[in-house]
Amino acid sequence: MSGRAARPRTLSEWLACLETLHPSAIAMGLDRVQAVLDRLDIAITCPVVTVTGTNGKGSTAAMIEAVFRCAGYRTGLYASPHLARYNERVRIGGIETTDDTLVAAFRAIEDARNIGDAAVPLTYFEFGTLAALLLFSRARPDVLVLEVGLGGRLDAVNAIDADVAVVTSVDLDHREFLGADRESVGREKAGIFRSGRIAICGDADPPASLVETARRIGAPLLVAGRDFAAIAEDGQWRYRGPGGERYGLPHPALRGAFQLGNAACAIAAVDALRDRVPVTAGALRDALVSVELPGRFQVLPGRPTRVLDVAHNPQAARALAAALGSMGFHPTTYAVFAMLSDKDIEAVAAAMRDRVDRWFVAPLPGPRGASAGRIAEALARAGVPVGAIRAEADVGSAWRAALAVAGEADRIVAFGSFLTVAAVLSATG
């Protein structure tokens, strides 16, 4: 994309063009982002909470935003990926940014990256992150929540210094970029820590690399189970942490017992900023019962029971399996299952094997999408009987096929990718 005359006009046209700006869909490093950032008049003056983690980062970021909004603050939230609309990624005051606003920001980023002899090649995520930061700079929110896209240390979001840095969990995913063991992953995620500023880890067994990074740079580290905790009680829960104890808390509107850990991370982050943006107990309770985030153990209304979850790695699949196990009895559970080819399909299938009776598998679009045949082979290797697997042409077809055979008392769970959940939401109209 070069020259003003050739530029896209609509948001959809821009998004299509952004896919072509860099030869790689994912390219780690901050040099490109920093080069363009230096050319823009961007000033983030409010407190910033940056959230990363193998799983739980989206839920935690959403809870933090909800708490500050319920407390009366004007918030900014940057999240990814989106499910239905790109606009979901940038929210100001709880409202998704309009197409026209995003297009104007994209134009500004395009101008900035083309200053000089050679254009700076930005990835889709880098371009979008810079546009979001420009919009936040102009909107001047009271507090900003940034969700990391991949890893932490070399992610575009990390171009902004966090006042509070949260690592929700550490497990294996994106091995080609983050490493093949928890120590490598922990080191990358700890890259969002800053000297003298609170770091929070929701993993009760943090990798030594994460702990050492915090110690080396002088970031005070709060670890789940040691420095803060969520304690489940009858119908409620309580939180303890450096900011004190909070009793009689309602369970988060986001379903699943694992969400208590995410809520504890969110409260720890909010408490870390209490001197600058104080929050009342009432605002915290209101946020917990009102927070929304599609695709995280989302149960659709009606029968049969239909669960949507973006779980796409073994840790998330284990959490999903546990959450399904805590639901009431269902004679048969059907899965609508589609994943990206660079994920550990077999391990995800193994984690869910005992919770699913019949599998409807489908390919995902694009070069990263795994074929239905490959998914079926991974299921078989994970111990799923071949007779329990049925391949469909796409996720929508798999969803309709599951609905056609499921009885009212049965259950359907769609999972494996954000793309899987997005396709199901589109099919449900």
Q: What is the pLDDT of residues 392-414, one digit of tens each?
A: 999 999 999 999 999 999 999 99
Q: How many CB atoms lie within 10 A of CB 414?
A: 31
Within 8 A by CB and 6+ apart from 425, the residues are 83, 84, 294, 295, 308
Question: What's the chain's average pLDDT?
Answer: 92
Mean pLDDT on 356-381:
95
Whether pLDDT at 122 is above 70 = yes
- Contact between residue 395 and residue 338 where contact means Cβ atoms under 8 Å apart: yes
Same domain, 285 and 346: no
Q: 54 and 185 in contact (C-beta within 8 Å)?
A: yes
Q: Which of 260, 290, 320 is the last residue of a domain?
A: 290
For residues 290-318, give the mean pLDDT. Answer: 94
What pLDDT does 5 receive? 47
- For residues 338 and 317, membership in a common domain is answered with yes
Phi first, then psi: give them for residue 402, nearest 5 degrees: -65, -40
Indicate if 251 and 328 belong to the same structural domain.
no
Confidence of residue 150 (pLDDT cuts 50, 70, 90): confident
H or E segment at 201? Answer: strand 198-201
Distance set, CA 146 to CA 27, 41, 47, 189, 339 (Å): 19, 19, 11, 14, 26
Identify whether residues 15 and 45 lie together within a single domain.
Answer: yes
Same domain, residue pair 238 and 283: yes
CATH number at residue 411: 3.90.190.20
3-state helix, strand, coil in the chain (%, to 5): 40, 15, 40
In this structure, the answer to whether residues 251 and 390 fall within a common structural domain is: no
Using one digit for the tens of pLDDT, what is the confidence trace for 247-282?
999 999 998 888 999 999 999 999 999 999 999 999
Structure tokens at 358: 């019949």
| Pair (237, 360) in one structural domain | no
pLDDT tens digits, residue range 164-189? 999 999 986 666 666 678 999 999 99
pLDDT for 4: 46
- Give tens-digit pLDDT for 321-362: 999 999 989 999 999 999 999 899 999 999 999 999 999 999
Q: Report the first-to-last Cα separation within the chain, whole angstroms.
A: 34
Picking from 290, 322, 354, the residue at the C-terminal end of a domain is 290
Burial 311-343 (b: 16+ CB within 10 A, else e): bbbbbbbbbbbebbeebeebeebbbbbbbbeeb
The CATH number linked to 192 is: 3.40.1190.10
Rounded mean pLDDT, 78-90 = 94
Residue 203 is predicted with a pLDDT of: 94
pTM of the model: 0.92
What average pLDDT does range 134-157 have in this prediction? 94
- Do 303 and 277 belong together in one domain? no
**pLDDT tens profile 97-109:** 999 999 999 999 9
What is each CA distance from 425 to 321, 414, 418, 428, in whole angstroms?
21, 10, 11, 5
Q: CB–CB of 160/146 below 8 Å?
A: yes
pLDDT of 25 reads 56
Tokens of 263: 């809520």
- pLDDT tens, position by position, 3-32: 444 689 999 999 988 887 765 656 677 889
Q: Are residues 150 and 47 in the same domain?
A: yes
Tokens 């003298």 sit on residue: 196
Whether residues 221 and 366 fall in one domain: no
> Higher pLDDT residue, 92 or 368?
92
Buried b (16+ CB within 10 A) or exposed e, 194-204: beebbbbbbbe
Q: What is the pLDDT of residue 179?
A: 65
Angle at 363 between CA 147 and CA 373, to 5 degrees: 130
Integer-rounded Cα Rg, in Å, for the chain is: 21
For 64-89, what is the mean pLDDT?
Answer: 96
Alpha helices in 140-255, H assignment, sequence order: 175-178, 182-189, 208-217
Q: Which of 169-173, 268-272, 364-368, 376-380 has the lowest mean pLDDT?
A: 169-173
Question: What is the C-alpha to C-alpha distance for residues 183 and 206, in angstroms, rounded to an integer?
Answer: 9
Looking at 270, 290, 310, the residue that finishes a domain is 290
Do 248 and 166 belong to one domain?
Answer: yes
- Domain extent, residue 334, equals 298-427
Residue at 191: amino acid letter: G
In the chain, how many domains are there?
A: 2
Confirm if 42 and 33 have CB atoms less than 8 A apart: no
Q: Are residues 228 and 320 in the same domain?
A: no
